[in-house]
Amino acid sequence: MKKQVTVFGASGLVGNFLIQELLKDASVTKINLVSRIPIPNAHEKVVSHVIDFSNETEIENCIRNSTTVFSAIGTTQAKVNGDKVAYSKIDYDINLRIATRCLKLKIPQFQLVSSGGADATSSNFYLKLKGEIERDVFELKLPSAIILRPSLLIGKRKEFRFGERIAQLLMPLFSFLFPVNYKPVKARWVAHKMNAYSKLSLPGNHIISNKEFFKKM
């Protein structure tokens, strides 16, 4: 089946690998690449959209007729200078806005990259926020909602994150000591699974835990 998909957060680690997966997939005929700033990507299948993420109409225009909408949108404390309100506006508000537009337009499938350990009752700000967006996306009762919970992502980012880079170098050395749900996972494996799940009929709500990224599909 020929597919038209939309990707939010393509400039990030998982999003970048996801675009590579989709470009190689012959069943994907059109990729709507949505961002706040222009992202160079000269390919006949890609249509770039630079939008205001607070504008619901602009979001709708990007996702209309998509078979799957992927969101890998997220920020860091460093990028928002530790401002938790600004952090929430990106990780929570934008993702929920995308999901509600998917509901309105009856998009067959919505996928969201969350985080291992996400828990709306957590005392940790980051994990609590991730848990809250998961909960509220699932409460929308979308035709198909798939939330992916990777652990520490391994891969080369465009921007340098000192703490994460150190963790990426050290944790794989000791990953055999961790339960599979906490093992570092390659970002390209997550992207590969996202594309694979987009080909499946999975009605209802689904959590994809970290251990799933280590399984063949």
**pLDDT, tens digit, 9 for 90 and up, residues 73-132:** 988 777 888 889 999 999 999 999 999 999 999 999 999 999 999 999 999 999 999 999
Chosen CATH of 3-210 out of 3.40.250.10, 3.40.50.720, 1.10.260.40, 3.40.605.10: 3.40.50.720
- Mean pLDDT score of the chain, rounded to an integer? 88
Higher pLDDT, 174 or 39: 39
| Angle CA 158–162–165, to nearest 5 | 70
Section 193-207 average pLDDT: 96
Helices 187-197 and 13-24 pack at an angle, to 10 degrees, of: 50
Gap between the Cα atoms of 154 and 149, Å rounded: 14
Which residues are CB-neighbours of 187 under 8 A, at least 6 positions away?
Answer: 13, 14, 17, 150, 153, 154, 155
- Give pTM, 2 decimals: 0.88
